[in-house]
Amino acid sequence: MNNPLLQNFNTKYVTAPFSKIKNKHFKPAFEKGIQLAKAEIDQIANNKEIPTFENTLVALEFTGDKLDRISSIFFNLNSAETNDEIQKIAQQVSPLLSDFANDIRLNEKLFSKIKSINDSKDNLDLNAEQKMLLDKNYKSFVRNGANLNKVDKEKLRKIDKGLSKLSLQFGENVLAETNAFELHITDKKQLKGLPDGTIEAAKILAKEKQKDGWIFTLDYPSYVPFMTYAENRTLRKKMAKAFGAKAFQNNKFDNQKIVLNIITLRHQRANLLGYKTHAHFVLEERMAETPAKVNSFLKDLMVKAKPAAEKEFSNALDIAKKDGVENIQKWDGTYYSEKLKKELFDLDDEQLKPYFKLENVIDGVFTIAGKLYDLKFEEIFDIDKYHNDVKTYKVTNNKGDFIAIFYADFFPRKGKRNGAWMTSYKDQWKKDGENSRPHISIVCNFTKPTETKPSLLTFNEVTTLFHEFGHALHGMLANTTYPSLSGTHVYWDFVELPSQIFENWCYEKEALNLFARHYQTNEIIPMELVQKIKDSSNFLEGMATMRQLSFGLLDMAWHAGESPETIKSIKEFELKAFADTQLYPDVKENCMSTSFSHIFQGGYSAGYYSYKWAEVLDADAFEAFQKKGIFDKETATKFRENILSQGGTQKPMELYKNFRGKEPSIDALLKRAGLI
């Protein structure tokens, strides 16, 4: 078979040739890619020369590049453009990749070479990046079983293979449950309160499904406006219950056993490697360091946020009582919060949306990136993409140097999981005098254009786009030698700093004036609306903080507990974890854990606290911009050179202090959130 995945990509900018790649190519490509990578590893392990940094660590760093490209293409498609066949292939190749990873980490000859280099590191003249590469590799081997005996190594292999399959199955079940639900409305009266654009989108969806009336789904652009504006409380309840019951319905897509199996295997793995819990294992390589420190951080924030959250909840209840609702339920929260916002600030998303046409917001992030980091974005049409919705851009600097390829995929569809994320199709690295540039992608689920309106974003969608673009800048501006230290390859509780700091520009008049224009009149957003955005920026911040803290505490409860095998009921366990943060009455048919993809499918296990942790960093870091002006070149250059371009070449706190001149202060976050 002529397999495009196994050939050199003779494409412009060496981009993935999506149009030539068929599903049948993936499994053979993985098998051959693993075979090629194994041969490269064997060559390093069997090298008779004395182990050196160059012939061992650098050589290891650049093995398996073909396999890496195949993996990035396949698993990105499995998230953004999947189907039954791709999901089946994922289940087949994941155990192969798990075995391959263990073949490397449990290779005794290879580890002995790395250990000998590590033992003599004080006598080597290594720079900071080289030291980090050595340290990262040595720890990776030790933390993944290199010092285990043969019996325990086999146990580890079995556990890793099981975990790789379970996390895939978890994600497939969540996607299947999301796709399975639809609210089909045929009575126009039941649409009362919904914005015209939302109604039109629901009409188009019904038409696509060859049905009369209107269809609403659990995809965010459909679900969120319905829960925010629909006056029909019974239908809001139906939607909310469906959303909260994903993979918790005792059907073939149920994730309850899968959650317990994942938790148990992670705990067994940690114990096997000499750690008390999975959280102890994970946090050893995080800024936070220990579960005790994470829980202390989360609980300290909770003490400060809870009084504000309870007051905000009470204010929302007062609004609800005017409608005769005596107790706010989960399906009332967003609806009455929006009414409260309207009453307090005379502001709602429908007023703002006309100023946030998607194309204008895209131009806005590009313009802001240009002013800060001298970047230029040119849409190009001569490289392959995996779906017609995807936009492709060539990124250069103001000297015309090629910086990156950027893919942007904005709209929901059946084969795409919910949410928003940034990813990479190719990392940046330097070798043989070449600085090989990255291919970066962001994937979102925004409101689609309709027959009468372009894609108009809610303000929350605007901040989401800025957030993911902040991650993309971290990837695009990478400038390191080694791919495993490049871009977003940093400690997990540091990776959110570039994304979260970039959201701050959404609230600044100077930035909004660059792109927030009415889609019909081209009028710049009025100053009074900008002021309302600023005034409402920490609206319900107490409740929002409690929500984030509840997710972080649930994550820690799952991963810092010492006896997961004793947990019988996921629901009861979850309620106990939520006890201190719960504001709304519980819904017995709902469960968060069974669709908590961040921790059971993504990389956030024992790491969900990172969002709040990084908020401390971003609030403190943005103060530096505010002092000198949000487009101050000197501050932007310092941020690019010390944070964005450095990847994981130094410990995060050192990078942060290089930029800021000091450690971050939590006060900046509390002040911004209105909690002090």
Amino acid identity, position 384 = D
CB 262 within 8 A of CB 149: no
Q: 256-347+542-608: what CATH class?
A: mainly alpha
Q: What is the C-alpha separation between 98 and 629, in angstroms, rounded? A: 48
Percent of the chain at pLDDT exceeding 90: 95
Catalytic residue, candidates 81, 350, 468, 496: 468
**CA 249, CA 246: separation in Å to the nearest integer?**
7
Residue type, 655: L
If one counts every other C-beta atom within 10 angstroms of the C-beta of residue 19, the result is: 10
The span from the CA of 489 to the CA of 486, in Å, is 6
Give the DSSP letter string of 628-660: H-TT-HHHHHHHIIIIITTTTSS-HHHHHHHHH
Domain boundaries, the chain: 4-147, 181-244, 256-347+542-608, 354-535+611-672
List residues bridging with 377 in a β-sheet: 395
Q: What is the largest CA-CA distance in the chain?
A: 81
Segment 317-361, tens digit of pLDDT: 999 999 999 999 999 999 999 999 999 999 888 899 999 999 999
Average pLDDT over residues 186-200: 95
Of 445, 457, 441, nearest to 418 (Cα)? 445
Paired tokens of 671: 């002040």
The pTM of this model reads 0.92
Half-sphere exposure of 125 (CA within 13 A, CB side): 0
Residue 385: which pLDDT band, with cuts at 50, 70 and 90?
very high
> Does the pLDDT at position 676 exceed 90?
no
* Same fold for the pair 256-347+542-608 and 354-535+611-672: yes
**Residue 604 buriedness (CB in 10 A; 0-12 / 13-18 / 19+):** buried
Q: How far apart are CA 435 and CA 601, in angstroms?
A: 33
Q: Tens digit of pLDDT for each residue in 265-289?
A: 999 999 999 999 999 999 999 999 9
User: Which CATH architecture group holds 354-535+611-672?
Assistant: Orthogonal Bundle (1.10)
Instruction: Assign 6 a pLDDT band (cuts: 50, 70, 90).
Output: very high
Whether pLDDT at 675 is above 90: no
Contacts for 87-90 with beta carbons within 8 Å, 24 or more apart? 87/168, 87/172, 89/23, 89/26, 89/27, 90/168
Nearest to 95 by CA among 34, 148, 140, 137: 34
pLDDT computed for residue 590 by the predictor:
97
CA nearest 132: which of 520, 490, 509?
490
Cα separation, 55 vs 537, in Å, equals: 53
Q: Is 651 exposed, middle or buried (0-12, 13-18, 19+ CB in 10 A)?
A: middle
Output the pLDDT for position 348.
85
pLDDT (0 to 100) of residue 671: 87
pLDDT at 90: 96
SS3 63: coil
Do 211 and 242 meet the contact criterion of CB atoms below 8 Å apart?
Answer: no
pLDDT of residue 193: 96
> What number of helices (H) and strands (E) belong to the chain?
27, 9
Which pairing describes strands 402-409 and 439-443: parallel, antiparallel, or unpaired? Answer: parallel
User: For residue 426, what is the enclosing H or E element?
Assistant: strand 421-426
Annotation marks residue 468 as catalytic:
yes
Buried b / exposed e over 140-149, threshold 16 CB at 10 Å, is ebbbbbbebe
Model pLDDT for residues 92-129, shown as the tens digit of each residue = 999 999 999 999 999 999 999 999 999 999 999 999 99
| 403 within 8 A of 212, measured Cβ to Cβ | no
**Residue of 465, 518, 513, 229 lying closest to 354 (CA atoms):** 518
Provide the residue type at 522 as one letter.
N
Q: What is the pLDDT of residues 464-519, one digit of tens each?
A: 999 999 999 999 999 999 999 999 999 988 999 999 999 999 999 999 999 999 99
- Express as a percent the part of the chain with pLDDT over 70: 100
* Radius of gyration for the alpha carbons in the chain, expressed in angstroms and rounded: 25
- How far is it, in rounded angstroms, from Cα 410 to Cα 55? 43
By the 8 A CB rule, do 506 and 462 touch?
Answer: yes
CA distance 663 to 650: 15
Nearest to 162 by CA among 257, 71, 94: 94
- Whether residue 562 is predicted with pLDDT greater than 90 in this model: the reply is no
CATH fold for the domain made of 4-147: Glutathione S-transferase Yfyf (Class Pi); Chain A, domain 2 (1.20.1050)
Please report the DSSP string for 275-320 in residue order: -SSHHHHHHTTSSS-SHHHHHHHHHHHHHHHHHHHHHHHHHHHHHH
The stretches of 46-149 forming alpha helices (DSSP H) are 59-61, 65-80, 84-105, 108-119, 128-143
pLDDT in tens, 439-452: 999 999 998 898 88
Kindly state the average pLDDT of the residues 39-46: 97
